[in-house]
Amino acid sequence: MFRKLKRREHKEELATILDQHAAAVIMGGEPADADLIDKYGQTHPELESLMGLTRRLYYTLVPTEPSEEFVEDLRTRLAQIQERPAWRRRPWPSLGYRSTKLPQLVGWALSLAALVLVIFRFTGSLILLFTFLAGRKRRLASA
C-alpha cells in the first residue's frame, strides 16, 4: 500500500516536471534542462530523454496557414449557402470523395470484367471436357 502510494507520488512528480518544462518551452522560454536533470535526474532517469522529446515536438509541430485562396473561396461558398432558402442548403460533395470516385468505378468495372472472363473460361473448359469425354465414349463404342 505504502509502496503503491510512493510510486504514484513519484509518477505525479515526473508528470509535473514535464508539464512545467513543456509549458516553458512552448512559451518560448529556455528552461535550463541541465539544472532540472541535476536536480531530478537521479530519481527520474528518464527525464532527460522525455525533455528532449518535448523539444522535438516543439520544433516539429509548428502552426501552418491555409492558403488565402482557400479561405476566400470557402468564405464565398458559406455566404452563398446562407443566402439560399433553408430547403436548398444541401451539403456539397466532398472533394476527397470526388477525387477517388472515378478510380473506384474503374476498379469495380475491371474487377467485374475479370470475373466475367473467369466464368467464361471456366464454362468453356467444362464444355471442352464434356465434348472430349463424349467423343471418347463414342469412339470407344464404335471400336
Contact call for residue 89 and other proteins (CB under 8 A)? yes
Q: Quick one: which of 7, 39, 77, 121 contacts other proteins (CB under 8 A)?
A: 77
Q: Quick one: which of 74, 110, 115, 134 contacts other proteins (CB under 8 A)?
A: 74
Contact call for residue 71 and other proteins (CB under 8 A)? yes
C-alpha to C-alpha distance for 72 and 141, rounded to whole angstroms: 86
- What number of chain residues touch other proteins (CB under 8 A)? 44
Contact call for residue 94 and other proteins (CB under 8 A)? yes
Q: Which residues ranging from 10 to 49 are in contact with other proteins (CB under 8 A)? A: 11-12, 14-16, 18-19, 22-23, 26, 46, 49
Please identify, using beta-carbon distances, which residue of 53 and 134 lies nearer to other proteins: 53
Burial 4-36 (b: 16+ CB within 10 A, else e): eeeeeeeeeebeebbeebbeebeeeeebebeeb
Helices (runs of H) and strands (runs of E) counted in the chain: 5, 0
Contact call for residue 66 and other proteins (CB under 8 A)? yes
C-alpha to C-alpha distance for 11 and 6, rounded to whole angstroms: 9
Q: How far is the CB of 116 from other proteins (least distance, A)?
A: 28
CA-to-CA dists, residue 69 to 78, 86, 96, angstroms? 14, 27, 18
Tell me how long the chain is: 143
CA-to-CA dists, residue 65 to 20, 68, 111, 142, angstroms? 28, 9, 41, 87
Residues that bind other proteins (CB under 8 A): 11-12, 14-16, 18-19, 22-23, 26, 46, 49-50, 53-54, 56-67, 70-71, 74-75, 77-79, 81-82, 89, 91-92, 94-96, 99-100
